[in-house]
Amino acid sequence: MIKKYTKKDGSTAYMFKAYLGTDSEGKQRFTTRRGFRTKKQANLELSRLKVDISKNGFKKSDKMTFQQVYDLWVVNYELTVKESTFVKQTEQYRVHILPFFGDTLISKITPAVVQKFANEKVNKFVRYREFISNTSRIFDYAIKLKLINTNPCKSITIPKAKKDAVNKNRENYFSREEMLAFLTALEKHDNLKIATFFRLLSMSSARMGEILGLEWRSVNFEDNYISITQTLARGKNRRLYLEEPKTSSSTRDIPLDQITMDWLKKWRKKQREELLIIGHNSLKPDQLVFSSAMDNSFIQLSKPRKWLQTILKQENLKTITIHGLRHSGAVMMLESGLTLKDIQDRLGHSDISITSSYYLHISEKRKRETIDQMTDYINSGSISGSK
């Protein structure tokens, strides 16, 4: 019987409690389902449930929890992705998804339950859509195992994050003037390794892991470019290791300016002197361009963020993230007139739509140029820049 009820927050929903029959062990089976937005949805679910039982009978697998299904899925998932991806994604499940769904029977999780999860995450986490997508994976797997018939994630409304004025107006990139101030600050920095690291990161627009995984054999001083062939990543038990770049498009050559190449030459000489003091041979082919001063090992992925925060604070510069330097490079490229295809190749994006969605909207100068071009066309019928 379908009933309407009032939830704790004052909103209304529909539920049903139904007798399903007697199972193979002679036990009477009942079920209660809540959280349906309309009476029609509740009726459809009840009808689906009865048809399923009439065809397939009662399943012992109905007793499997979300956690148990996840435990089966994750074994196969590990065999399909990079170790670093596996670590990142399973950490997301551990922190955000399993605490919410883990102990609930997979067959008892309704669209309303998933909707509540999505609504709780939307304004707390930037990557809330990824949380929903990863949750959906487990239900898809449960369908393959014939534990459930439908994926409740497919029936929810994806919420939109509400951005306050402060966060909306805060852009995570440098303007041209701010970038020049940052590069000038690097010139007077007392640590050549840190200064060179950020000079290279800024001028290459590479990912941080790509620069931390860069080896001297991938630096071409004759033709002034670096080759991105690997990236530093974190694996199980916080192990640092080198893996292939993010995508096939991420393997690329990045041309660099002469000043940055001169900085690299100066740092290579300085690094050799420092490593020699602690007994390390820096002439080996796989020598990292940037390594730990203590033992010539990988630099922890959290280190550059601390370096950057210190520099920005000391120089009273705008606060941006490490990835903001990559954004800044894209802005500079846009403002200098490079095409989206040029930028895509330099950034190592697999699809030009990624480049467009991330970077085309972030340049205020570009926005002003657009309206100027439109105004010129309206007033004179001519296209700006045309002869």
Judged against a pLDDT cut of 90, whether residue 266 lies above it is answered with yes
Q: Directed axis angle between helix 303-314 and helix 322-335, to 10°? A: 70
* pLDDT 10s digits, 67-82: 999 999 998 899 999 9
- C-alpha span between 190 and 266 (Å, rounded): 14
- C-alpha span between 195 and 262 (Å, rounded): 13
Which has the minimum average pLDDT: 54-58, 158-162, 259-263? 54-58
Average pLDDT (225-240) is 93
Spatial CB neighbours of 172, under 8 Å, sequence gap ≥ 6: 320, 321, 323, 324, 327
**Number of helical (H) and strand (E) elements in the chain, helices listed first:** 16, 8
Binned at pLDDT 50, 70 and 90, residue 58 comes out as: low
pLDDT higher for 6 or 360? 6
Spatial CB neighbours of 43, under 8 Å, sequence gap ≥ 6: 2
- Residue 168 confidence (pLDDT): 44
- C-alpha span between 344 and 326 (Å, rounded): 12
Query: Strand pairing partners for 215?
Result: 288
Return the percentage of the chain with pLDDT > 90, whole number.
55
Average pLDDT (131-149) is 94
- Residue 46 confidence (pLDDT): 83
Type of residue numbered 12: T
- Residue 382 confidence (pLDDT): 60
| CA nearest to 83, candidates 233, 214, 189 | 233
* 1: its two tokens: 């019987």
Q: What is the pTM of this model?
A: 0.69
- Residue 212 confidence (pLDDT): 97
Which has the minimum average pLDDT: 125-129, 138-142, 160-164, 363-367? 363-367
- C-alpha span between 291 and 294 (Å, rounded): 9
| Cβ–Cβ < 8 Å for 135, 115 | no
* pLDDT 10s digits, 78-100: 999 999 999 999 999 999 999 99
pLDDT higher for 52 or 314? 314
Binned at pLDDT 50, 70 and 90, residue 358 comes out as: low
Question: Strand 225-228 relative to strand 252-255: parallel, antiparallel, unpaired?
Answer: antiparallel
Which residue in the block uniquely carries the two structure tokens 């992925």? 301
Type of residue numbered 213: G
| Cβ–Cβ < 8 Å for 102, 65 | yes
Binned at pLDDT 50, 70 and 90, residue 27 comes out as: low
What does the mean pLDDT of the chain come to?
86
* pLDDT 10s digits, 307-350: 999 999 999 999 999 999 998 888 888 778 788 888 888 888 87
Three-state SS sequence of 305-347: HHHHHHHHHHCCCCCCCHHHHHHHHHHHHHHCCCCHHHHHHHH
